[in-house]
Structure 1
Amino acid sequence: MADLQDRVPPHNEEAEMAVLGAMMLSATAVQEVSQVLEPHHFYLPVHQEIYSTMIELVRRRMTVDLVTMRDTLMSNGRLEDIGGVSYLVRLVDDVPSAASAVDYARIVRDRSKLRRLLEASAEIHKVVFDPNSSIDKKVETAEKLVYDLKAGDRADYFQPLSMFANRFFDGIEALMSSTGAVAGLTTGYPDMDRLTTGFSPGDLVILAARPAMGKTSLVMNFAMNIARTGNGAVAVFNLEMPGEQLVQRLISMLSTVPIEDMRRTGLSTESYDKIIVAAEQLVSLPIFIDDTSQLSALDMIARCRRLQMDLDDRVRRDELDPQGGRLALVIVDCLQLMRAQRGSDNRVQEVSEIARGLKLMARELRVPVIALSQLSREVEKRPNKRPQLSDLRESGSIEADADLVAFIYRDEYYRQKEEGGGEDFQENPEHTEVSEIIVGKHRNGATGTVLLGFQPSLTRFWSLANEDKEDYWRSKRRQNFADD
């Protein structure tokens, strides 16, 4: 570390001078460079001062040239600090080409990134030797430092329309050559896939429901169906229950052994054998569970990046094929249990920040993110207990940031409660019912309702036959007629 401290931090003085000189010669250079650089990107304090003055002139909608720079620096009492008028003249005279201003700016920004990387490495060095921090905490801190380094970059703001048009036609050509029924990631439920056209990279999908509706079960059915197809790995952030309980649910789905039976003594040999077979199937699936509580969106992004690096290593070792060795989906259970990056006394603001963070995570990782969400108790106070967008708990920004919002409604559940049957019926292995998956918002498509079969004792969903769906809607129409 002593050797590193003795070295001059990375910088390019000629590129810094060329950028500043070009901006005093070309209005185009001012517009382009101001979208790429911030004052802190410059290494020399003198250059930081000059560039800050240029940005001040831009904000005041004034021309940036020798005359305005001299006058502003003189008014601020900083002209002599930067070397006087003679240094400004030198900057202009030494510009190789004002047309290359953006190229010089990128050199300046790249050197700044290296300096920040050097600072991050110094921080990581301190963390490594911190006796009061655990190994896992040290690794997470190091990952966050590196991620913050990347997230702090300013991207080029505008791209030509032709670039996005090329991406659009690449997608169209991929669809034409695809044998799949929908464009996005399929859930394994054809009716759901037809309505949503699958989940696309960058999508934030909110699945919301009142307690006991089966939202965790449904999303884990999605996860298993996607993992089985070989289209990639699924990352699950399970903030609501220990990982062992989630695995218990998955094994119950696969084995058809009710969860209640697994919790009792005297498990039959037949059930045990089914559990063993299901466990063998489950461990072969590329599903990865993180049951750490109180994670933020940035924490999740860092952990997903680490997972992707692990998958890349397995591909290089020929343990996975390239298609299966990519992160395909991220699931978060649930949104309200996440931690906001910036603490606030206003819970609505916190949830809004979390929702925005999840959307940014979907775009950053380029995968669909499905986040489970709680609903307000107002649902229970209405005669018709089907959820709607206004029921999303604690923040309307959840609806605004989501690309798709879906709700789960089980009419049989509420009917049994109204008749005084309690919730014991859900433990009956023979009990099955119809569940409504209501798509209340779809930014890129239609809304509507999908019917799925549901077996509460096994937390299992399945596609219904057309005649079963028709029978359900027919019974609802009769019920509505009777109520009228």
Structure 2
Amino acid sequence: MDNAAFERIPPQNLEAERAVLASMMLEKDAIYEAIQMIKPKDFYKEAHSIIFSAIIDLTEKGEPVDLITLTEQLRQESNLEKIGGVGYIAEVANSVGTAASIVHYARLVRDKSLLRTLIRTATNIATRGYEPGEEPEELLDDAERMVLEVSQNRIRSGLVPITDVIENTIEKLELLQQQKSDITGLSSGFRDLDAMTSGWHSSDLVIVAARPAMGKTSFCLNIAQHAGIKENVPVAIFSLEMSREQLVLRMLSSLAMLDQQKLRTGRMIDKDWISLTNAIGPLAEAPIYIDDTPGISVMEIRAKTRRLKAEKGLGLIVIDYLQLMSSGRRSESRQQEISEISRNLKALARELEVPIIALSQLSRAVEQTQDKRPGLSHLRESGALEQDADIVMFIFREEYYNPESDKKAIAEIIIAKHRNGPVGSVELAFLKEFTKFADLAKMAE
């Protein structure tokens, strides 16, 4: 690596920095514009950072900002000589700067600051890469985290006039009216479920929880299949428990209505092969992408899904399952780690404007209840899942606990939390041998 790269003068624009400060000394409105865009640390020259902070301090105290008050403020802070004395303040005040151009100047300062931050981050990563004994995987995780922090610090959301929000809302309502459909999001493929949820909506975090053997993986694969095949929506599936080959076998079993055991053993008759061939075509053409990296972190998912969205588009993310994920950093407890994962998944859904369906385990406490029906209190390891999720759903099969139940091959989908809609239950047919869920009405036809 060329060491000269580390010895260059960092990106900076001292004229823009002085222009920002001069504008702030000219007019109070320029101060309010500047503090929305930049912070003291964004200035390259320390003297400029100190002056910027002093101007903010004066403004917060309700005092005017001019040569006299600014000089006195810096003197009280024992910073006057550090910045070059009264003479330098006068020099800055006489810089070419206008309140009308403050946004332009502030943007230049911010952009140079961002470049310096990226250089420091990249240099840190490169330096660690040369360290003997550095673990590549740990360095990769840290590198992704550091770059993510730079990106997140850059994103600032401002106040928006309610009239603009109303205008955008009305436009969306008009589009929905033209659709003439109650499904305003991405269809799940299940009519009764869509009737309650109106589909999966952008930025939603959906938690699907169940005890083992309830069919939660099959349920979410069915949803992913429908999105990819019927809706032609790109889907990213992150499987932390099963290999991609196992997932594909399950999807083929569901689509071809072939017993899983036949597919696993390869003992199929001609009719089965015909059904399998008919299922392979649509599935192979579907925009479904599978990643089976064990212990994947939210940062890794973010990097992969951002790339996928940019290259192919993205309409749905499925994660199987949440408790097998890694937060990418040390936590005091597993509960705290799950809370962080949950919070970051919700943030990712908002950033990508894509619904995320994350599968979750339930605690064994549900087995101690009389009717075995799960509730929000049974979410494993973290109450944050309930807090962060827009929808929390449980899968419950009475037949599993009571073989004499009259609800054979029926799964109840319990919507226990719905931030923007009703809660309640939907019954679906569950054909375990085919790993397939279906509307009861369709099965009766």
Aligned to 1:233: 234
Question: What is the correspondence of 1:165-204 to structure 2 with a 5 Å cutoff?
Answer: 165-204=166-205
Aligned to 2:219: 218
RMSD: 3.1
**In structure 2, distance between residues paired with 1:117 and 1:371:** 32
| Cα displacement (A) at 1:308 | 2.3
**In structure 1, distance between residues paired with 2:405 and 2:409:** 16
| Cα displacement (A) at 1:264 | 3.4
Q: Is the 8 A contact 2:6 2:123 kept in 1?
A: no
**In structure 1, distance between residues paired with 2:138 and 2:311:** 19
Aligned to 1:366: 353
Structure 2 residue matching 1:80: 3-state secondary structure = coil
Pair 1:355 & 2:356 matched: no
**In structure 2, distance between residues paired with 1:264 and 1:75:** 82
Structure 2 residue matching 1:371: 3-state secondary structure = strand
**In structure 2, distance between residues paired with 1:337 and 1:60:** 51
Pair 1:441 & 2:442 matched: no
| Cα displacement (A) at 1:156 | 4.0
Amino acid corresponding to residue 448 of structure 1 in structure 2:
G
**In structure 2, distance between residues paired with 1:25 and 1:243:** 63
Cα separation, partners in 2 of 1:131 and 1:267, compared to 1, 3 Å: farther
| Cα displacement (A) at 1:163 | 2.7
Pair 1:331 & 2:318 matched: yes
Q: Deviation string for 1:169-208 (max 9, x for gaps)?
A: 2211221222544111111111111110111111111111
Q: TM-score, normalised by structure 2?
A: 0.89
Task: Give me the identity figure in percent.
Answer: 41
Structure 1 residue matching 2:315: 3-state secondary structure = strand
**In structure 2, distance between residues paired with 1:261 and 1:59:** 74
**In structure 2, distance between residues paired with 1:137 and 1:278:** 41
Moved more, 27-36 or 217-226: 27-36
**In structure 2, distance between residues paired with 1:4 and 1:392:** 51
Q: Is the 8 A contact 1:144 1:302 kept in 2?
A: no
Amino acid corresponding to residue 387 of structure 2 in structure 1:
A
Q: Deviation string for 1:316-353 (max 9, x for gaps)?
A: xxxxxxxxxx2000111111122124421222221111
Moved more, 352-361 or 128-137: 128-137
Pair 1:255 & 2:242 matched: no
Q: Is the 8 A contact 1:144 1:299 kept in 2?
A: no
Q: Is the 8 A contact 1:253 1:459 kept in 2?
A: yes
Question: What is the correspondence of 1:91-130 to structure 2 with a 5 Å cutoff?
Answer: 91-120=92-121, 122=123
Moved more, 459-468 or 11-20: 459-468
Q: Is the 8 A contact 2:392 2:415 kept in 1?
A: yes
| Cα displacement (A) at 1:147 | 4.1
**Unpaired runs of at least 5, structure 1:** 312-325, 420-430, 470-484
**In structure 2, distance between residues paired with 1:199 and 1:305:** 19
Q: Is the 8 A contact 1:432 1:456 kept in 2?
A: no
Residue-pair matches, total: 444
Q: Deviation string for 1:137-192 (max 9, x for gaps)?
A: 99887766654432221414322223322321221122122254411111111111
Moved more, 4-13 or 376-385: 4-13
| Cα displacement (A) at 1:297 | 1.6
Q: Is the 8 A contact 1:231 1:328 kept in 2?
A: no
| Cα displacement (A) at 1:116 | 3.0
**In structure 1, distance between residues paired with 2:435 and 2:418:** 26
**In structure 2, distance between residues paired with 1:132 and 1:230:** 49
Q: TM-score, normalised by structure 1?
A: 0.82
Question: What is the correspondence of 1:411-450 to structure 2 with a 5 Å cutoff?
Answer: 411-416=398-403, 433-450=409-426
**Unpaired runs of at least 5, structure 2:** none
Q: Is the 8 A contact 2:229 2:283 kept in 1?
A: no
Cα separation, partners in 2 of 1:295 and 1:387, compared to 1, 3 Å: same
Aligned to 1:408: 395
